[in-house]
Chain A
Amino acid sequence: EAQVTQNPRYLITVTGKKLTVTCSQNMNHEYMSWYRQDPGLGLRQIYYSMNVEVTDKGDVPEGYKVSRKEKRNFPLILESPSPNQTSLYFCASSYRGMRGDTDTQYFGPGTRLTVL
């Protein structure tokens, strides 16, 4: 079954304690992306990756890191989480051709993060 998985699904942590949210897809997709969703602020892109070893900043990258060492995985790292990073996080992936052609973006189930 084609899917994007995220772990953990729920996490409560404290300020400053480093954490990683994993994202994995089984569709051999080139493109992967992280978003956060906040009431009143909507969906905002954090980082995206067009392929292995290629990552770029979205609208709200501050306080986050990503890496794309393998095609299937795109972890989101919070080196020193703060309360303003409390949010619902989604990972997504999609096909990307050499000429930029693309297709359906598949979303993970979401990770609800609370930073105290």
Chain B
Amino acid sequence: ELKVEQNPLFLSMQEGKNYTIYCNYSTTSDRLYWYRQDPGKSLESLFVLLSNGAVKQEGRLMASLDTKARLSTLHITAAVHDLSATYFCAVEDDSWGKLQFGAGTQVVVTP
């Protein structure tokens, strides 16, 4: 059974500093997704990572996937207040279509 572990679950960031969120999973997969959710809102897709070594960047966010280590990272560069949200990773198991979410990382960025 696929298990997805995300850490930390809560991250207090100072503006201007760099941080990383980790997403570990338990079985083979080469499809991993990152989402953002603002309080009271729906989910917004950030990145789709489909192969080992995939790296994607958008603004201050960069996501990477290491399928051998079963690990994805979401790196935040020079945090700003607008990045305050909850970030989820989700892994698709080998029977395509079935997704397992991590517990989410609540990010709060303060001056």
Contact assessment for A42 and B45 in the assembled complex, using a CB-CB cutoff below 8 Å: no
Distance to closest chain A CB from B90 (angstroms): 8
A-B pair count, CB < 8 Å, reads: 56
> Known: A104-B45, A104-B48, A105-B33. Contact between A56 and B98, CB under 8 A?
yes
A56, closest chain B residue (CB): B97
Contact with B along A80-116 (1 / 0, CB 8 A): 0000000000101000100011111111111000000
On chain A, which size bracket covers the interface? 20 to 34
**A102: contacting residue among B35, B48, B103, CB under 8 A:** B48
Contact assessment for B42 and A48 in the assembled complex, using a CB-CB cutoff below 8 Å: no
Note all chain B residues with C-beta closer than 8 A to A45.
98-101
Q: How many angstroms from the CA of A47 to the CA of B14 in the assembled complex?
A: 39
**A48: contacting residue among B31, B43, B98, CB under 8 A:** B98
Note all chain B residues with C-beta closer than 8 A to A42.
88, 101-104
B50 in the interface, Cβ–Cβ < 8 Å? yes
A33 in the interface, Cβ–Cβ < 8 Å? yes
Interface size on B, residues (CB 8 A): 21
Note all chain B residues with C-beta closer than 8 A to A48.
97-99
Contact assessment for B44 and A107 in the assembled complex, using a CB-CB cutoff below 8 Å: yes
Distance to closest chain A CB from B82 (angstroms): 20
Contact assessment for B98 and A90 in the assembled complex, using a CB-CB cutoff below 8 Å: no
- Can you pick out 17 interface pairs between chain A and chain B where the beta carbons lie within 8 Å of each other? A43-B43, A43-B88, A43-B101, A43-B104, A44-B101, A50-B97, A56-B97, A90-B42, A92-B43, A102-B48, A104-B48, A105-B33, A105-B35, A105-B45, A106-B45, A107-B42, A108-B42
The 7 closest A-B pairs by CB, nearest first: A43-B101, A104-B45, A107-B43, A107-B42, A48-B97, A100-B96, A42-B103
